[in-house]
Amino acid sequence: MKTGIITLLLIGVAATTNYAQTKDTMKTFDSAFAHTVYFWFKNPNSSADKAKFETSLKTFLNNSKYAKTNFIGTPPTSTRDVVDGSFTYSLIVTFESAEAQEGYQKEEAHLIFIEECKDLWEKVIVYDSNGI
């Protein structure tokens, strides 16, 4: 009985969740090089600061010549001790190579984003990774 109820619940969740992607909306994750950035804001509860950051970041990413895929996130609510939810935003950007990531660092769209938003954060940590 318990297994049957769980199965019905899972079927219901799957039926009501839209996981469909089309060729137009699907972006392929490029595993060659990942650039992961964590931002800690000076005023993490400021709606105005968040709006400014999100607008500038999205504009930058839409205009980047080098970024292949991207993910913008905020900390989840977690009860696990291993999860660090102290940051305000996270960003994951993939590139076809380390050289492309170097180009991204110097491109005008990236430099404009930094200039527009650098007053918002008190700390930034970057983790770059080569795919294996």
For residue 11, what are its two tokens?
Answer: 């079927």
Q: Which residue has the tokens 């170097």?
A: 102
Residue 39's pLDDT is what?
A: 98
CA 45 from chain center: how many Å?
Answer: 19
Strand partners, 94: 34, 69
The pLDDT tens digits along the chain (132 residues) read 444 433 333 333 333 333 333 444 345 666 789 999 999 999 999 999 999 999 999 999 999 999 888 899 999 988 898 989 999 999 999 999 989 999 999 999 999 999 999 999 999 999 999 988
22-130 — its CATH code?
A: 3.30.70.100
pTM to 2 decimal places:
0.76
Which pLDDT value is given to residue 5? 36
Q: E strands along the chain, which residues?
A: 33-41, 69-73, 89-95, 121-130
Rounded to 5 degrees, φ, ψ at 14 are -65, -40
